Amino acid sequence: MTTAASAAAAQAQTADNGGERVIRVALAERSYDIRIGRGLLDGLGGAVARLAPGANVAIITDENVNRVLGERARASLTQAGQRVETIVLPPGEATKSWDHVGQVCEALLAAKIERGDIVVALGGGVIGDLAGFAAAIVRRGVRFVQVPTSLLAQVDSSVGGKTGINSPHGKNLIGAFYQPSLVLADTAVLDTLPVRELRAGYAEVAKYGLIDQPEFFAWCEQNWQGVYDGTDAREYAVATSCAAKAAVVARDETETGDRALLNLGHTFGHALERLTHYDSARLVHGEGVAIGMAQAFRFSARLGLCAPADADRVARHLAAAGLPVHPAQIPGGVGTVDEVLEAMAQDKKVSRGALTFILARGIGQSFIAKNMPRDDVRAFLEADMAGGPGV
Amino acid sequence: MTTAASAAAAQAQTADNGGERVIRVALAERSYDIRIGRGLLDGLGGAVARLAPGANVAIITDENVNRVLGERARASLTQAGQRVETIVLPPGEATKSWDHVGQVCEALLAAKIERGDIVVALGGGVIGDLAGFAAAIVRRGVRFVQVPTSLLAQVDSSVGGKTGINSPHGKNLIGAFYQPSLVLADTAVLDTLPVRELRAGYAEVAKYGLIDQPEFFAWCEQNWQGVYDGTDAREYAVATSCAAKAAVVARDETETGDRALLNLGHTFGHALERLTHYDSARLVHGEGVAIGMAQAFRFSARLGLCAPADADRVARHLAAAGLPVHPAQIPGGVGTVDEVLEAMAQDKKVSRGALTFILARGIGQSFIAKNMPRDDVRAFLEADMAGGPGV
C-alpha cells in the first residue's frame, strides 16, 4: 500500500500558477477537486459559478465562523451573481443532532434550494458533517461544497464523504456517504485558530505518515512548527494529508476494506472521548487520536510487531508538537481498564463484539488487525495505564 | 425506448421451478432481485439467511400489517435461526415524518443492528419508504429487504430505491436513493386487500403500458379483472411492471434523464393530492395518478400530439377498472384552475418555475415535455375542468 498511496499523493499534488494545490478525489462520476491555498475563500463565488452556473446558494455555518468569515463568503458569492441565504447554527458538537438536521433541511426547502443548487458548508467538522448530511437527504441529494475552516476539517473530515449526526447511542451513528462537489481549503483562515485547535488537527496530519508514508512522518518531525506558523509547510501538510486520504477513499469509499486504516488511533481515541463524555475542556478528538496513535504503537511494540524505538519515536514527535500521548495526561483521568474496554466495545466499527485495531510493524507500516483477543488488549491496557507518558 | 424496455422485460421474466418470477435490477454492485410469487413470505427467513448468514434482523412494519402478517414473517425468520426484533409504527402517510424516522433509527441502534445485519420493510409504500430511508442512514447504511404488501408497493414503490419522508414543504422532500438487497413480493398477501387499494395500485400497472409498452396496455384491457381476482394474471402484471421499472431505473438511477417517464400522470396527480390535502377518504395516490394519466392523454390530444381516440381508450380502460379519470369525480371537488396551476408549481420536479409534463404521441409512446408554456396548461385545464369524465 505504501507505494500506491505515495504515488497517488505525488501525482495528485499539482501546484497551479497561483501557488494553489489541487488534489483530485477519483470516484468516477462522483469525483471532485480539493483546492488548497491561502485566500481561496474570496474565490468561492467564482468556483461555485463554474460548478453550477446560475445556481442559488445556501451557506450553512455556525455563529463563530459566521462572525469571522460569513461576510467574505457572502460577498464573494454575491459578486459572482449568486442569490445567497445563510443558515446559522450554534457552535459545538451538540449541533450534530436530529433536531438541527431537521431544522437545516426545512430551512433549505424554505430557501427553495433545488437539485441543481449548491449548499456551502462553511465551518469545521461539525458544520461539514451536518451540512453534508442535510445536502445528502434534501430532495434526495443536492450538491454541496465544503469550505473547511479548521485544520482538522481541512485534512480529514471535509474529505471522503462521511457525513452525519450523533445519536444518543453514539457519535456519527446516523448519516450518509455523500461526496462534496468541491472542497475549498483556505489555509489562511487557520491563522487565527487557537493553538489547541491547530494541535488537534495536526494529530491527523501526522497520522497519514504513520499509516503508510514514513518519509512524510520524517518530514513532519522536521516541519511541524511551520504547519502551526503558516509557512508553506502548512499547504504541503494539508495537501499531502488530503492526497493520502483521497487515495484511500478512492480505493474503498464505503469502508468495507482498507479505509479502516484511517482509524489508526481511533479505537483507543474514541473510547477515551466516550469516557470523558465528549467534554472538550478535557479532551478534543485530535487529542484522543494522538493518545490513541501512541497507544497503538506501544501495543504493537508489546505484541512484538514493531520495534519499541518506533513507539518511542511516535510519542516523542506528538509530544513535541504539543499533543498528549497517554491517558494519564487527560485532566481528571479516564477510569479503570475495565471501563476503557467497555467503552471500546461500544465503537461503531465493532462487529459481533470483536475488537478491530489498526496496528503497525513500524512507522508507516500500519495494518488492520481484526478479532484482537480481549485478553491481549486487557494485558496491554493494564501495563500501559499503570505507566505514564514516558516522554 | 419501446424496444429496449420490452426486451428487458422479456429477458428479465424467468419463471423458476416454483412458478416464481424473478426480475433482476441491474445496478452494478447495487444490483438485486425482485422475487414475485404466491406464498413467498414464508420463505423470508431462508432468503435473508442466503443474503446474510448469521445476520440479525429488524422488521419495520405498521400495526395493521403486523396484525395480519407479522407472526408469519417472524416465524420464518426465527426458523431460519435469525434473531428478530419488530418495530411497529402507526399506519398512514403521517408516519413518514422526521419524528418517526428518528424513532425508527434509534430503535434500530437500540436493537444493535450493525452494518452486516438486515432491516426488513414489511408493509406498503409508507413503510417501504420510511424503513428504506432509516436503513440508508443508520450507520451510514445497513442492508434492507423490501416485503411489499400492497399492489402499489409491489409494482412501484418497492422498486428503484427512492426512500424518504415528507416535509411540511411537501411529500418525499427528505430522503435518499438507496437500493434494497432483495424485494420479496408475495402476491397472495394481496388477496385480502380492499378493492379500492387494489385499484389504486392497478393505476401504476396500467401506467407501464401507457409509457412504452402498447402490447402490455392491450393485455391489461383484456386481463385486469384477473389481476384483481388473483389469477396468474396478477403475477404477470406485477412482474411486467417491475421489469419495466427496473429497466428504467437501471438506465437512470437518480432521475437525471428518462426515469422521469415514470411520472406519467404524476404532475396532474400530485397537484390533485395536494389540493385534497392528502385526505385518503377523498383521493389516494393511485386515483390521482389515474386521473392524471387520463388528463395527460387528453392534454396530448388537445395539443395535437396524439389521437383523441387514444385519450378515450385510456379513460375507458381506467374507468372499466374502477378508477376515476376526471377531477370532477373527486368528492368535494378540487377548486379552480388557478388553484390547480398553483399546486403544480409546488412539485418537487419543478425547476426554476418551469413545468415538466409527461405527454404521449399515442398509447405506449410517452415522452418528457419540459418547459410547457403555462398558457397551454391553463387553456387545457379550463377546457378539461369545464367538462366531465366522458366515460
Q: Are A276 and A194 in contact, with CB atoms under 8 Å apart?
A: no
Q: Do A109 and B169 touch (CB under 8 A)?
A: yes
pLDDT, average across residues A178-201: 96
Cβ of B176 under 8 Å from any chain A Cβ? yes
Q: What does the CA dihedral A160, A164, A167, A170 come to, rounded to 10 degrees? A: 10
Q: Do B176 and A116 touch (CB under 8 A)?
A: no
Any catalytic annotation for residue B223?
no
Residue B36 confidence (pLDDT) above 70 = yes
Nearest Cα residue to A303 out of A383, A380, A387: A380
Where exactly does CATH 3.40.50.1970 map onto chain B?
13-192
pLDDT, average across residues B46-57: 95
- Report d(CA A174, CA B309) in Å as an integer: 53
More confident residue, A251 or B242: B242
Give residue-wise pLDDT tens across range A82-140.
999 999 999 999 999 999 999 999 999 999 999 889 999 999 999 999 999 999 999 99
* Cell numbers found for residue B310: 387514444
B13-192 architecture in CATH?
3-Layer(aba) Sandwich (3.40)
DSSP B22-34: EEEE--GGG-EEE
* Cell numbers found for residue A8: 497517488
- Classify residue A94 by its DSSP letter: G
Q: Which of A184-193, B22-31, B50-59, B104-113 has the lowest mean pLDDT?
A: B22-31
In this prediction, what percent of chain B has a pLDDT beyond 70?
A: 94
Q: Do A176 and B141 touch (CB under 8 A)?
A: yes
What pLDDT is recorded for position B17? 41
Q: Are A202 and A151 in contact, with CB atoms under 8 Å apart?
A: yes
Cβ of B177 under 8 Å from any chain A Cβ? yes
Residue B131 confidence (pLDDT) above 50 = yes
DSSP B64-127: HHIIIIIHHHHHHHHHTT--EEEEEE-SSGGGSSHHHHHHHHHHHHHTT--TTSEEEEEESHHH
Where exactly does CATH 3.40.50.1970 map onto chain A?
12-192
Amino acid identity at B120: V
Give residue-wise pLDDT tens across range B194-214.
999 999 999 999 999 999 999
Residue B15 confidence (pLDDT) above 70 = no
Give residue-wise pLDDT tens across range A202-244.
999 999 999 999 999 999 999 999 999 999 999 999 999 999 9
A266 is an annotated ligand-binding site residue: yes
Q: How many CB pairs under 8 A join A and B?
A: 73
**Nearest CA of chain B to the CA of A302: how many Å?**
31
Give residue-wise pLDDT tens across range A265-304.
999 999 999 999 888 899 999 999 999 999 999 999 999 9
Amino acid identity at B164: G
Amino acid identity at A286: G
Where exactly does CATH 1.20.1090.10 map onto chain A?
264-391
What pLDDT is recorded for position A319? 98
Give residue-wise pLDDT tens across range B66-103.
999 999 999 999 999 999 999 999 999 999 999 999 99
Give residue-wise pLDDT tens across range B216-228.
999 999 999 999 9
Pairing of strands A366-372, A355-360: antiparallel
pLDDT, average across residues A42-58: 96
- Name the fold adopted by B264-391: Dehydroquinate synthase-like, alpha domain (1.20.1090)
User: Which of B27, B174, B253, B349 should one mutate to test binding to chain A, selecting the residue with the greatest count of A CBs within 10 A?
Assistant: B174
Any catalytic annotation for residue A285?
yes
Q: Do A138 and B174 touch (CB under 8 A)?
A: yes
Containing B266, the helix (H) or strand (E) segment is helix B266-275
3 state SS of B231: coil
Find the helix packing angle between B308-320 and B214-229, rounded to 10°.
10
Give residue-wise pLDDT tens across range B165-195.
999 988 899 999 999 999 999 999 999 999 9
* Cell numbers found for residue B257: 434523464
Nearest Cα residue to A150 out of A72, A204, A84: A204
B150 is an annotated ligand-binding site residue: yes
Interface of A with B in 72-101 (CB under 8 A): 98
- Report d(CA A311, CA A209) in Å as an integer: 14
Any catalytic annotation for residue B96?
no
pLDDT, average across residues A1-10: 40
What pLDDT is recorded for position B28? 85
Burial of B382 (0-12, 13-18, 19+ CB in 10 A): exposed
CB contact burial A157-176 (16+ within 10 A = b; e otherwise): bbbbbbbbbbbebebbbbbb
What pLDDT is recorded for position B1? 35
Q: What values do phi and psi take at A114, rounded to 5?
A: -105, 180
Give A4's pLDDT tier (boundaries 50, 70, 90).
very low
What does pLDDT average to over chain A? 92
What pLDDT is recorded for position A19? 78
Q: Are A12 and A246 in contact, with CB atoms under 8 Å apart?
A: yes
**Nearest CA of chain A to the CA of B89: how many Å?**
19
CB contact burial B134-150 (16+ within 10 A = b; e otherwise): bbbbbbbbbbbbbbbbb
Q: Which of B122-126, B154-158, B385-389 has the lowest mean pLDDT?
A: B385-389
Give A388's pLDDT tier (boundaries 50, 70, 90).
confident
Of B141, B173, B254, the CB nearest to A109: B173
Chain B residues within an 8 Å CB radius of A177: 140-141
In this prediction, what percent of chain A has a pLDDT beyond 70?
A: 94
Q: Are A370 and A261 in contact, with CB atoms under 8 Å apart?
A: no
- Report d(CA A339, CA B27) in Å as an integer: 45
Residue B270 confidence (pLDDT) above 50 = yes
Residue of A nearest to B169 (CA): A109
Q: What values do phi and psi take at A281, rounded to 5?
A: -65, -30
More confident residue, A148 or A389: A148
What pLDDT is recorded for position B13? 47
- From residue B113, how far is each of A176, A260, B55 by CA, in Å? 16, 20, 9
CATH code of the domain occupying A12-192: 3.40.50.1970
Residue B8 confidence (pLDDT) above 60 = no
**Nearest CA of chain B to the CA of A174: how many Å?**
5
Residue B346 confidence (pLDDT) above 90 = no
Give A383's pLDDT tier (boundaries 50, 70, 90).
very high
**Nearest CA of chain A to the CA of B309: how many Å?**
38
Give residue-wise pLDDT tens across range B16-33.
446 799 999 998 888 999
Q: Which of A129-143, A335-349, B82-96, B345-359 has the lowest mean pLDDT?
A: B345-359
Q: Are A225 and A274 in contact, with CB atoms under 8 Å apart?
A: no
Q: Which of A100, A234, A245, A298 is catalytic?
A: A245
Please give the ipTM for the structure prediction.
Answer: 0.90
Amino acid identity at A197: E
